[in-house]
Amino acid sequence: MTKPAPPPPGRLYHGVYPGGLTGDEDDLTIKDLREYESAVGQSAAWVYFSHNWFTGQSRAFPRVTADWIRAAGSTPYIRLMLREKPEQDRRDHTFTHQGIIDGLFDRDLRAWARAARDYGGPLLVEWGTEFNGIWFPWNGAWHGRDKKKGFGDPKKYDGPERFAAAFRHIVELMRAEGATNIAWVWHPDVHDDPREDWNRMENYYPGDDVVDFLALSTYGPITPDEPASEKLGDMLDYSVPRLSELAPGKPVIVAEFGCTAGNSTASPAPWAADALASLLARKHPSIIGFSWWNERWPNDDNPKHDTTMRVQDLPELARVFRESFATHADELQTRMLTVPARP
């Protein structure tokens, strides 16, 4: 059995979240993928999507989606989203870190692992996406915050420490079930929110032995009314060194980047042109790949306030991707490499 590996030196993986209809990031189709690939002129090494454990939805490994992604020539990259509702900025009363640590979901996780093992192909998987952002229920604010005496090491902040323990529990359990075809991704946001010492991304790290790849979310404005934007290169300049100090030698994925149309501080085409130039300049050699968040969604009842980052809907953005990818075609890796998985 094999699992995903970094690309050859000097090359970058090109992946994508190709979008869906509901905003839950789990209803993507082959049509979404092919429209994106046609617009940018390159195939995707991985296809990124969510597997939500909302109340009433299946907790089984998403085999149907994984199968069509593999048939399309890409590797599935799964955001394992244990949460009871899609709404953000709220406490989750079902999938708590302590519940994961205590084994309340072991039966479902073991079944998921066995199905992932039996799928047989290489998989990228992350749990706890953007954990240092309070918008997700796995942020430490909902699990002990800055307290130090309610869990584990009395010198560590309980909220992040519980996250790290839950991450380790999931990975060790799945490996024990034989799912060694999974490369595990640890994925913070580029910004610690709240920007307090206890919530620094470093406090959430579960250890080199349970992490294969590091990842970042690095967005420009994602709604038309956001007041300011940052260039992707600037975000990488202050975040990648932190990752390199935390876990020297670990490969880094820019797992999510994007910029919406309709914002007064940044337009998607020039923002993306600058972002792709920064990535392809290889200023940060630890970065091994990137994936554009190719989605659209309404923010309220006014269509002028909708977010859209879909390349196929924005001709100038599509032109930027096509030209950049054509110029750097020899540097793009559009098929995932693998290495033998340890038993």
What's the pLDDT at 122? 98
Q: What does the block give as tokens for 104?
A: 């309340």
Per residue in 176-191, pLDDT (tens digit) is 999 999 999 999 999 9
What's the pLDDT at 343? 77
What's the pLDDT at 303? 87
Per residue in 110-129, pLDDT (tens digit) is 999 999 999 999 999 999 99
pLDDT band, very low/low/confident/very high, at 323 (cuts 50, 70, 90): very high
Domain total in the chain: 1
- Closest to 330 in 3D by CA, of 10, 4, 6: 10
Range 57-89 burial, b when 16+ CB lie within 10 A, else e? eeeebbeebbebbbeeebbbbbbbbbbbeeeee
Per residue in 161-176, pLDDT (tens digit) is 999 999 999 999 999 9
What's the pLDDT at 21? 84
Cβ pair 190, 218 in contact under 8 A: yes
In this structure, what are the phi and psi dihedrals at residue 66, rounded to the nearest 5 degrees? -60, -40
Q: Which structural domain range is residue 69 located in?
A: 2-340
Asked whether residue 342 carries a pLDDT value surpassing 90, the answer given is no
Q: What is the pTM of this model?
A: 0.97
In this structure, what are the phi and psi dihedrals at residue 120, rounded to the nearest 5 degrees? 90, -35
CA distance 340 to 56: 37
| DSSP conformation class of 319 | H
Write the CATH number for 72. Answer: 3.20.20.80
pLDDT band, very low/low/confident/very high, at 71 (cuts 50, 70, 90): very high
Asked whether residue 73 carries a pLDDT value surpassing 80, the answer given is yes
CA distance 34 to 32: 6
CA distance 30 to 18: 9
Q: What percentage of the chain exceeds 70 in pLDDT?
A: 100
Residue 10 burial by Cβ neighbours in a 10 Å radius (0-12, 13-18, 19+): exposed
CA distance 307 to 338: 36
pLDDT band, very low/low/confident/very high, at 60 (cuts 50, 70, 90): very high
Beta bridge partners of 46: 75
Dihedral sign computed on CA atoms, order 11, 74, 42, 318: negative
| DSSP conformation class of 90 | S
The least confident of 57-61, 195-199, 290-294, 319-323 is 57-61
Per residue in 211-229, pLDDT (tens digit) is 999 999 999 999 999 988 8
What's the pLDDT at 228? 81
pLDDT band, very low/low/confident/very high, at 287 (cuts 50, 70, 90): very high
